[in-house]
Structure 1
Amino acid sequence: MYGSRAANGAVVITTRTGKSEKGKIGVDFYTETSFETPLKLPRLQNEYGAGNGKTPYRFVDGGQSFENNIPNYGLKFNPNLLVDQFDSPAGPYQAGDLYERSLHPQDTVTPTPWIGHADHFKKFLQTGFTTTNNISFGSHSDQGSFRISFGNLYNSGILPHTNLRRNSLSIRANHQYGKKLSTETFIDFINSNSDNRPNIGYGSESVMYTFFGVYGMPINIDINSLKNKWWQAGQINIQQFRYWKNHDNPYVTLYENVNTFNKNRVLGYAMAKYQFLPALSLMIRTGADVYSDHREGHRAFSTVRFPSGGFRIDNVDYLENNTDFLLSYAQEVNQKFSMHISAGGNRFMQNLSYTRDIANALITPGLYNFSNAQNQLPTEELKFNKVIYSLYSFADLGYENKLFLNISARNDWSSTFTHSSKTRISIPQPH
């Protein structure tokens, strides 16, 4: 009976009502903390490092083809074999400090032992945890009940500097006015936000790609060298310290190239039901789901996709309103026959507004606003409005609780339908 909006199914959610000793206020408190670690990690070989067959790997500037930076196709690890690597010392600097080395060519690279670090991804991860707290107050009487609850959730992910916070306030009440009229209301206020939600999928902005892409991180890379030093000497916030120009330092990806969001959401409904007769009732209900979602993306200088940094803001505003009524008649005609007949209607409204502003290059490193943009792209804007009016009816006829006939019909008038689509849908379902 949900019509065109339930083409892929419908999820029905139920919520709690107030529970306590009659006439008194009950208080419930709940807290929980859980810890997260990977169930299974890839088993990585620890015998060979970067290179091309027997052609040895040698770090020069992290970008030349003759460096043979093909993961794990190089020479076998041997602590007695010394190789120029990105974290090898070069005078007071390291080989990966390309800017300072260009100013001090006399500081040549001192090769370091060729050893494996098959645990580099395991060391990169951290123990995640989720803490949930909830406190609620509720009471009930012969006429109704109420429940007020406040919830708080904090999650720290297994990837460094990824988190999620959620705070919610929920109010629910129902009341019986005499024998015929009853009401029910529910409202939820939810704020969700994060300092960083990691990119997923296949691409240079995902740390999973950095470790396990086609040119994933070679086993000879010591993750501690990337953790302890994000930027080249003398190039703070300008040039990353990394082993290859086509991969970002994963710590820069998670600590500097952040994806923040702040979302405020309100949802609720109010319902009234009137019992005209024991077999005849009318229900009227209206509900809404409203949210505003503000998202920001920061990209540091020397990021693979944004060499001069970048800044992005997305704003999403959404409103959905449902108002419906249902007139129902249910009657046991006699010991053999029963019937349940209902007719009703619905008005569904949906409004979506989306804007995006992007600066693909910045003037000053680390300053994320559009006044610092070299060239700001035009604002992308999307607006979507939809209204559906519906009328429907259904009947359930039963005989001796053995044979049943279900008949339903529904008609939708949608602002997104063509004229020919506004047709009655009639679905008899005998069984």
Structure 2
Amino acid sequence: MSQRPISLSPDLKRLRDEGYDLEIRSGYLLVKDVPYVNSNKEVKRGTLVSKLMLAGDVTVRPDDHVAHFMGEHPCREDGKEIDQIKNESARRELVGDVVVDHRFSAKPQPSGFYEDYYAKVTKYVTILSGYAQVIEPGVTAKTFRPVIADEDTEETVFKYIDTASSRAEITSVTEKLALVKKIAIVGLGGTGAYVLDLVSKTPVKEIHLFDGDTFFQHNAFRAPGAASIDELKAQPSKAAYFRDIYAKMRNGIVAHEAYVGAENVDELQDANFIFLCLEGPAKKLIVEKLEAFGIPFVDVGMGVYLSEGSLGGILRVTASTPTHRDHVRSRISFSDDADRNEYDVNIQIADLNALNAALAVIKWKKLVGFYQDLDHEHHSTYTIGGNILLNEDR
């Protein structure tokens, strides 16, 4: 069943965003899991059915006030049938696999017609579920069931519909991220894994993961999610482990079970954006290559230290774009530097990794136009002890 008419029709989209379980089948709108009371004064769930009027893939005003129902005859809380909507009770095949048990009539006043399907559905649901709520307070037709994407008719990387964007009415803004064809995350230690967690929930077409390391027990304590003991025993590569987790939600995640170095750095050449979440001698080579390729990137760093029984430190996010790269050498440390940068000491804490990743992803979203960017900073630091966020290199 295609979700396209639901996504394109404001009335159906509103119903779906509010949590109603909708299906379009053979020209009919089915609203599932509607609570009602049967003759035994039990709360049951049935399916409300309405003929669907469409102009192409978009709804038009319903041409009648009639609705059908799959289930027992709805009753009041005392078990007596609801007379105000009673019209006809007979098992009837409307078309193909749409078989109903009852026909109802609730004519809106004074026009006699519903303005749209939101008005029609909510009117009938209010009547049916109102009596059920007397017996079972809080029972509702708003079940927020997962909405599966139709891969044949809908262009989406997700395996189920992004109802978060539509519910917040920011779909047009989110579509800016869908224009990004390929992102790479180099390094899936603490921060890189959280970058993946955030980026995987955006509609970018491909996310390439580069890491040659194994996912060990200590990694589980600074990674998003919760690894099982069986997963730890299997000792998967980090790239494969995280690919398999996020492949449950979306397509387009590609695992490269290798470190990036001279022999494979050219694989980054066609990426639209890179997140560098690594340390080591390869970083200098990678930065130089990305600059030569003209690819924008963000490099993250975190320096945490123990002092008098508590932890302090600084998180760093450094952005480099084709129009602004002069600051990079003074901001990013490389393993062969004489003095190791204070932002890159190797104490890893999950919440700090997550914050470092969030700041990096927010900067990327600013560069894409998803977020406002008033300061145009290309380097920012967060100091733990003073809770200070500084912007530099504008």
Give 1 or 2: higher helix fraction. Answer: 2
- TM-score after normalising by structure 1: 0.19
Structure of larger gyration radius: 1
Give 1 or 2: higher strand fraction. Answer: 1
Q: Relative contact order, CA 8 A, sep 6+: which one is greater?
A: 2
